[in-house]
Amino acid sequence: MARYIDVHPDNPQRRAIGQAVEIVRGGGLIVYPTDSVFALGCQLGNKEGLERIRQIRRLDDRHHFTLVCRDFAQLGQFVQVGNAVFRAVKAATPGPYTFILPATKEVPRRLMHPKKKTVGVRIPDHLVAQALLAELGEPLLSSTLLLPDSPEPDVPPTQGWEIKERLDHAVDAVLDSGECGTEPTTVVDLSGPEPEIVRKGAGDPSRFE
């Protein structure tokens, strides 16, 4: 059974965040809130966690996983960012955007797109997610929580208790700080010569069009 961790949205309790981080460091898979929707998250090197995310979401090997980072300095360790891209990403973070960029050697090969050698990165503007990342001290390997068996598979669940009921035996913990949104991040591919909007979501895509 998944542990249900109730977290205050404005003042995340250190103890609650610590419990979640302990589960992640112990090889667990958690559900946590972000500034867009709930996300699945595990440690960067957690192969089993990666496979569990694939199973829950029924993903193929071409899916871009996301490294959710605490800040720009951390993000820069895992992706290659040129000057023009630096300015564009810096201006849009933290916020509900995911950027696809060339991965550095710090990223395990299994997380990269098999042909492009790219990976998704983002910096969330959410107090609970930020507290989690600060305590963990490294990015969370993440994916939007979408449930293919749902009557509306493209609409993410918004309530922590509902997620706990539905994924009780598939994840190890659910962090709940109140209702989340239904619009995933806007995904922008910045790995080519021109920005490409891969998915329009919660972030305003016009700045990259």
Annotated domain spans of the chain: 3-208
* Nearest partner of 140 among 50, 59, 80, judged by Cα: 50
Instruction: List, for residues 151-180, the tens digit of each pLDDT value.
Output: 888 889 999 999 999 999 999 999 999 999
Cβ neighbour number for residue 158 with a 10 Å cutoff: 15
pLDDT for 61 equals: 76
pLDDT tens for 66-122 read 999 999 999 999 999 999 899 999 999 999 999 999 999 999 988 888 888 999 999
Mean pLDDT for all residues in the chain:
95
| Tokens standing for residue 190 | 């910045």
Task: State the CATH architecture for 3-208.
Answer: Alpha-Beta Complex (3.90)
- Reading the block at residue 115, the tokens are 């042909």
Q: Which residues contact 128 (CB under 8 A, 6 or more apart)?
A: 7, 9, 12, 17, 32, 33, 175, 177
Identify whether the C-beta of residue 37 lies closer than 8 Å to the C-beta of residue 145.
yes
Per-residue confidence band for 62, with pLDDT thresholds at 50, 70 and 90: confident
Residue 101 — φ and ψ, nearest 5°?
A: -140, 160
